[in-house]
Amino acid sequence: MKYGKIYLFILAVVLFSSCNDWLTVTPQNKTQEDDLFKTGDGYRVALNGLYQQMSENSLYGQELTWGFMSVLSQNYVYDNLKSQRYKDAGAYEYGTSGCSSIIDGIWRKLYNTIANCNNLLQRIETENPGLFELKELERNMIMGEAYSIRAFCQFELLRLFAPAPVTDDKKVYLVYVTEYPTLVGKKLPVTDYLDLVIDDLKKGKNLLATFDTIEPYVVGEQAYWFRMECSSYPSSPGAFFNARGTHLDYYATTALLARVYQYANMQELALKEAREILECEYFDFTPESQLSMDQVNDRNQKAHCDIMFSLFNNQENKIAESYYNGIAGFMEIKDMTNLFTGDGDDYRKAYMVIKSYDSKDISIKWRESSNQEVFNQQNPLIPVIRLSEMYYIAGEAIFDKDPGQAIDWLDEARLGRGCKTRLPRELTKAQYLERVIQDARREYIAEGQLFYLYKRLNHPVIDGDKTIELGAKFVLPIPDSDLVSF
């Protein structure tokens, strides 16, 4: 058993004028680490640092959204993949040097984030609430988000590096890490590991409830037009508390808990969490009026009104730029003709896919807008959980008891995206799931979530007019990494 180095991430641009390097935990650097946590502002910086890590290109800034995971989902035309590592990924050749470097980067960054999260949690659990501007309210908010982040990152590791419960072989795969600085522990079966993910999310949700559901300035900000925007709500105590949709707040944690329960095949519990979101007055789909502008640069390119949780990276346009300028063909959406058959009015086709300079179908989600207002509000957003997923989860969970309600919910999701035709009322469970997959293929274009849907259902990956049986290829190989190895 090897011991890897653990790093503490500090948002250097906020607190320190020096480098952006990771700080290895040593007695010398522990002094700097202790200084960070001497103030409430230091805890805010540490929490923001976790989100910044998650937004880097090795994770959701690229590879877990429009990069690696979208390639695995067969979103793009294979022949136009300009990068050899993405060609390898599109062929599921995980052992090549290029592909393995992506996988290793994901593994390392997730574990770095978990280590930093555990450091924050160990400190804040015994911290005096008087250190924080909003006292116990703020302490619980930061601690709740940290629990949710820890669960989120370890759930991502499970979805990538272990079988889905539907094909669970009862073997042990990963350690659920809860202590800092150690990453040593007992590997767990998938079901036991999921129980710990759920426990952390329940802790996070309970801690976040007071701040996000009772405080008047926060409740007012939950309306979709404030959740993703950094403009201040009138009574907000400061910028740190704005744009709650870019944090794992109460509602994002509820949505994530629904996702995890569904993955664990705990359908009744998944339904309860998803239904809480669907019955909440704050959330609705992005209206057509924000998508239908003649000028593409003026459109709500991320459809951000219905994002439940988004990460934020103000350099995202630079990360994605080369894929739109010069090698735009990489982003060509596969099978556009069949993907939207019967639903030509679907907003995701009519407004969110355009022709590139070389007449290829590309998503506008990651395209840099020349409209400064759109650029400021939209370009940095990285969608992670959408409202539509709550309809998918609730419908699948209720289908066996009430197929009519399941079909109604899927219809609501489709109508929210501009589809004019309703689904047939007589669908078997298998037919219903195929309809969910069809809609998810449109919804998750260049967002990376489709692969996990295929994996959870052990469904063949749809690749244009053919399918690919992945089997064991749904599980990525665990890297032989010096950073984290067991």
Decide if pLDDT at 372 tops 70.
yes
Q: How many residues does the chain have?
A: 486
What is the rounded distance in angstroms from the CA atom of residue 38 to the CA atom of residue 28? 17
Report which of residues 317 and 461 the model is more confident about: 461
Decide if pLDDT at 173 tops 50.
yes
Decide if pLDDT at 320 tops 80.
yes
Confidence of residue 6 (pLDDT cuts 50, 70, 90): very low
Least confident of 210-219, 344-353, 473-482: 210-219
Q: Rounded mean pLDDT of the chain?
A: 89
Confidence of residue 482 (pLDDT cuts 50, 70, 90): very low
Please report, for the chain, the start and end positions of each structural domain, with discontinuous segments joined by +.
Answer: 7-474
In sequence order, the β-bridge partners of residue 108 are none
Domain 7-474 has CATH 1.10.150.120: no
pLDDT at 230: 54
Q: What percent of the chain has pLDDT over 70?
A: 87
Q: Spell out the alpha helix ranges (H) of 84-181.
A: 84-90, 97-124, 136-161
Report which of residues 236 and 196 the model is more confident about: 196
What is the rounded distance in angstroms from the CA atom of residue 317 to the CA atom of residue 297? 14
pLDDT tens-place string over residues 128-145: 999 999 999 999 999 999
Decide if pLDDT at 78 tops 50.
yes
Main-chain dihedrals φ then ψ at residue 466, nearest 5 degrees: -135, 175
pLDDT tens-place string over residues 425-437: 999 999 999 999 9
pLDDT at 385: 98
Give the CA angle between residues 406, 410, 416 to the nearest 5°: 145
pLDDT at 223: 56
What is the rounded distance in angstroms from the CA atom of residue 328 to the CA atom of residue 81? 10
Report which of residues 265 and 484 the model is more confident about: 265
Output the CA torsion sign for 227, 220, 271, 200. positive
Give the CA angle between residues 474, 100, 83 to the nearest 5°: 100
What is the rounded distance in angstroms from the CA atom of residue 387 to the CA atom of residue 277? 8
Output the CA torsion sign for 147, 148, 152, 153. negative
Of 407, 408, 415, the C-alpha closest to 433 is 407
pLDDT at 239: 80
Q: What six digits make up the tokens of 286?
A: 């992005």
Task: Look at residue 342 and give its three-state secondary structure.
Answer: coil
H helix or E strand, kind and range, residue 358: none
What is the rounded distance in angstroms from the CA atom of residue 161 to the CA atom of residue 103? 10
pLDDT at 243: 85
Integer angstrom CA distances of residue 472 from 102, 105, 482: 19, 21, 25
What is the rounded distance in angstroms from the CA atom of residue 470 to the CA atom of residue 204? 34
Main-chain dihedrals φ then ψ at residue 139, nearest 5 degrees: -60, -45
Q: Is the pTM of this model over 0.85?
A: yes
What is the rounded distance in angstroms from the CA atom of residue 354 to the CA atom of residue 346? 13
pLDDT tens-place string over residues 404-416: 999 999 999 999 9
Show Cβ contacts of residue 255 under 8 Å, excluding neighbours closer than 6 positions: 273, 274, 277, 308, 309, 385, 389, 390
Section 58-79 average pLDDT: 96
Q: Residue type for 113, please?
A: T
Q: Spell out the alpha helix ranges (H) of 162-291.
A: 190-213, 216-221, 224-227, 250-263, 267-278
Show Cβ contacts of residue 402 under 8 Å, excluding neighbours closer than 6 positions: none
Report which of residues 367 and 272 the model is more confident about: 272
Decide if pLDDT at 148 tops 70.
yes
Q: What percent of the chain has pLDDT over 90?
A: 74
Decide if pLDDT at 7 tops 60.
no
Q: What six digits make up the tokens of 435?
A: 């309809």
Confidence of residue 27 (pLDDT cuts 50, 70, 90): very low
Of 149, 139, 140, the C-alpha closest to 118 is 149
pLDDT at 359: 86
